Structure 1
Amino acid sequence: MIQRYRVLGRSVAEGDELQPVLREAYERKSPVHCECRKGTELPLYISHRQNGYVLARWPGSGARHATACDHYEAPDYLTGMGQVRGSAVLDDETSGETSLKLGFPLSRGAARLAPAALTNDKPTVKSSGQKLSIRGLLHVLWDRAELTHWHPKMAGKRTWFVVRRALLEAAASCRAKQEALPHVLFVPESFKVEEKEEIRARRRAALARVYASQGDMMVVVGEIKEIVPAHGAEKIVLRHVGDMPFVMDQDMARRFHKRFAGELALWQAQDGPNGKSGHLVLAGSFARRREGTFDLIEVALMPVTPEWLPYESSDERYLVGKAVAEKRRFVKGLRVNLDTETPIASLVLKDTGEEASAIHIHDRDDEVAEPLEALLAGQGVAHLLWKEGEPLPARVSRPPRRSWDAQQAA
């Protein structure tokens, strides 16, 4: 389909002409509507970013767009977003700003210099959805950055540079603990030897909060390079900031390996050198000691494919890889705060016609449990129980593109 918008009283196609029109609409605070569904009001809002003007859907409205539309999003009830939207994630449709309620602290008493050595992301804890765990925050950011979306044209283009930019743009309109989220979020910049001094200066500025006070904390999101012993403790080294290890004391390390044994096993099972077949993303709150070292406090791990698409089991990794290899268009579901026993849709395929298809991983030799049965009864998408070796729903070919005049005539 041709992506078109109603702006300043006329219909404009996505392309070179759109940017100057969006600039004028932004300055005049004029509304913009997506035209993917005739007769349906689908308002969008304009964000002004470094590279220009970007159109974004209002939170929670994505499922109303056509499946072929760039702004389509899977219904919230299929994933963990349904639990936190309106409670831990509060969207202001007037300002476009989102308030995030965090279930972990971003400050500690100056006397408490030792790391807390805790994680609030245990799979046995039942979350009410009122506040985000550290994993919940990571998933919400990944979702807002649309790093859960995949289109064949993205193949080979999603690098750490792209991931970082998307995360920072997603955080730009968020607030947490009465602060702008970018003030407490650190996402390492891609390292370049020829710019190492400039990068160090920018990193120091980005970490101003923890340099100013030992009692304040920040949140880091980065890719793990290695986990190594360090004088009776352990340290986690992230890519692009090899000279800034994050330290875990013995107790924290013991809990870390016990809690994330599954995620670490999936990471270790990835094939290929230098993480070419996948990555392991860490999100963690951290503080800086007087000596200059950095202590991890709350931690979450998230294995992702080479395309930076999250997965939580070997079956799901196979499913995501299959969908990518078959050049499908889809949205990856995320658990956010939900425990591991609560079912969610692994993928929602966007290329199956007027109705999207939610894919649920399930061994059909087992009886469908009541929670999954309830999920399968949800409206707005077709549902499919899938297991390894089975085909995905057939792709519905789009009609050939026509000019706007031809569409109007039709």
Structure 2
Amino acid sequence: MEVLARAHASHSPAHCLCRSDRELPLYVTKRQSGFVLARWPGSGAQHDTRCDHYDAPDDLTGLGQVQGNAVKDDPETGDVHLKLAFPLKRGAARAAPAAITNDTPALKHNGRKLSMRGLLHILWNKAELTHWYPRMSGKRNWFIVRRELLEAAENCFAKGAALGPRLFVPEKFRFDDRTGIAGRRHTALTPARLSPDTMMIVVGEVKTIGESRYGEAIGLKHLADWPLYMDIDTAKRFHRRFAAEEHLWRSSAEDEGHLILAASFSLRQSGAAEMFDIALMPVTREWLPYENAIERELLRVAVSDRRSFVKGLRVDLNASRPIANITLTDTDPQAVAVNLVTEDDTDAAEAARAVLIATAGVDHCSWRPGMPLPGPRTTERQTATITEPFDPASFDQFARPALVM
């Protein structure tokens, strides 16, 4: 289909038709897999919940803390400028791995810069891997996750340069293409190979965590021949910092979820990768992030009930601050933010949740295991279509993302 390509070349305007009471602009952007219609920054919560462009209000999650500070959208170009709390250059101060990630993100960064976990959450959200619809069941795999992450990073900039060339996401291993995969990996690692001081960021699924000759190594799925190394001190801090995430991963069945790693790294002279800032993120079999067993149960219930929702992410918000764990988008008259309640909640936690529940634009409900979720709407989710023939003068006929392969 050449419609979006022509619209992109002619800078034709577009508007979403999901609501008749307001004008919601869209724009055409080019990605690796083709052209796509995208919503303007900050407009997600204004779309109808049935619309593919809908997104939960930023103030319900940690996105509200960093938006406009560590994350700045350019409405003219669609570019996203990120401020990182970790370096992408290895200087004298980084002669040995010194940082795992931010232990107290709200206090250390306060929304002004992104930790490694914050960057991972931003990319996951921008890739819309936080969105779930029943039609996705059985269709989201590593090929899809990798493609969406790379496309999400395409128009991101950090440290004065494009983030895309610094992001390495391993492709799905195929034995019959092992030589081609090795060659493409060699090319992708060019920035780190050309200079030992250049650091890149890897995002992949953890397969093994074990001992190595001088410390420990993490093996990523699809990268059996390329482990990522930690020295002994770094490994000790790694296990102390990510004890909960490791336990969630090890205690779940192999087909019940995944453990995602994001880390900055540089290459030694031998070609081995040495990690610096690290973050771990458990995800379900649907690749939806979760923080604890109760939140994992909430996601299981929502998926098994065939609900449509957006998963809230903490980004760099402190663990003591509540977020909307999911926002149901298949409810009437508006979306419903679901907030987890536990027996261990303190008075301070309840007070903070009361402030969160006052967020306008959505309804709110509390949930604990065993409780039902608010019922879905009775009508089917609306899907707009593209009308031919194409007329650049009336490009606002498009109402949802479309992809040209």
TM-score surpassing 0.5? yes
Deviation at 1:402, TM superposition (A): 11
- Secondary structure at 2:2 match in 1: helix
Q: 2:324 aligns with which of 329, 345, 348?
A: 345
- Which consecutive residues of structure 1, in runs of 5 or more, have no partner in the other structure? 1-18, 406-410
Aligned residues of 2:62 and 2:316 also touching (Cα < 8 A): yes
Contact map agreement 1:117 1:248 (CA 8 A) in 2:
no
Distance in 1 (alpha carbons) for counterparts of 2:320 and 2:74: 32
Query: Which residue is equivalent to 2:179?
Result: 197
Bigger relative contact order, structure 1 or 2, given CA contacts below 8 A and separation 6+? 2
Supply the RMSD in Å over aligned alpha carbons: 1.9
Aligned mates of 1:196, 1:360 — CA distance in 2: 45
**2:370 counterpart (379, 386, 389):** 389
2:199 is aligned to: 217
State the match for 1:330 in structure 2.
309
Q: Structure 1 residues 124, 331: CA separation in 2 closer, same or farther (over 3 Å shift)?
A: closer
Asked if the contact 1:67/1:354 (under 8 Å) is kept, the reply is no
Query: Who is 2:117 aligned against?
Result: 135
1:115 maps onto 2:102 in alignment:
no
Q: Which residue of 2 aligns with 1:228?
A: 210
Q: What residue identity is the alignment partner of 2:330?
A: D
CA contact (8 A) 1:224 1:239 kept: yes
Instruction: Report the CA distance between 1:339 and its aligned residue.
Output: 1.0
CA offsets per residue over residues 199-243 of structure 1, 9 Å max, x none? 111101100011011111000000000001112410000011111
Q: 2:130 aligns with which of 142, 148, 162?
A: 148
**Aligned equivalents of 1:125 and 1:91: distance in 2?**
21
Relative distance call for 1:401 and 1:35 in structure 2 (3 A) is closer
Task: Report the Cα offset of residue 334 of structure 1.
Answer: 0.2
Distance 1:117 1:247 in 2: 13
State how 1:285-304 maps to structure 2 within 5 Å: 285-304=264-283
Which residue of 1 is the match for residue 153 of structure 2?
171
Please give the secondary structure, in 2, of the residue aligned with 1:40: coil
Which residue of 1 is the match for residue 393 of structure 2? Answer: none
Find the counterpart in structure 1 of residue 244 from structure 2.
262
SS of 2:252's partner is coil
1:31/1:248 Cα in 2 relative to 1: closer, same or farther (>3 Å)? same
2:300 matched to 1:321? yes
SS at 1:142 equivalent: helix
Distance 1:72 1:343 in 2: 22
Q: Matches of 2:219 and 2:383 in 1, distance apart?
A: 51
CA offsets per residue over residues 138-193 of structure 1, 9 Å max, x none?
00000000000000110111010000000000000111111111111000011111
1:369 aligns with 2:354: no
Q: Structure 2 vs 1, CA of residues 57 and 199 (structure 1 numbering), >3 Å: closer, same or farther?
A: same
How far apart are the structure 2 equivalents of 1:50 and 1:124?
33
The CA deviation at 1:123 is: 3.7
Give structure 2 stretches of 5+ with no counterpart.
388-405
Give the Cα separation in 2 of the matches to 1:401 and 1:380: 20
8 Å CA contact retained: 2:331, 2:376: yes
Q: Within 5 Å, which residues of 2 pair with 1:236-255?
A: 236-255=218-237
Question: What is the Cα deviation at residue 115 of structure 1?
Answer: 2.8
Distance change >3 Å, CA 380–CA 214, structure 1 → 2: same
Instruction: Give the length in aligned residue pairs.
Output: 383
Match of 1:87 among 69, 86, 92: 69
In 2, the alpha carbon distance for the partners of 1:318 and 1:229 equals 32
Q: Are the aligned partners of 1:67 and 1:350 in contact in 2 as well (CA < 8 Å)?
A: yes
Deviation at 1:398, TM superposition (A): 1.2
Deviations 1:81-131 (A, max 9, x none): 10111111110000111111100000012x667432312321476131011
Residue 284 of structure 1 corresponds to 263
Task: Give 1:11-30 correspondences, 5 Å limit.
Answer: 19-30=1-12
Q: Does 1:45 align with 2:24?
A: no
The alpha-carbon distance between structure 1 residues 251 and 44, as it changes in their structure 2 partners (threshold 3 A), is same
Q: Which residue of 1 aligns with 2:284?
A: 305
Residue 56 of structure 2 corresponds to which residue in structure 1? 74
Q: Following the alignment from structure 1 to structure 2, what is the Cα–Cα distance between the partners of residues 294 and 42?
A: 45
Does the 8 Å CA contact 2:51/2:383 hold for their aligned counterparts? no
User: Match of 2:223, SS?
Assistant: coil
In the aligned structure 2, how far is the partner of 1:282 from the partner of 1:138? 9
Partner Cα distance (2:383, 2:147) in 1: 34
How many Å separate the matches in 2 of 1:401 and 1:143?
23
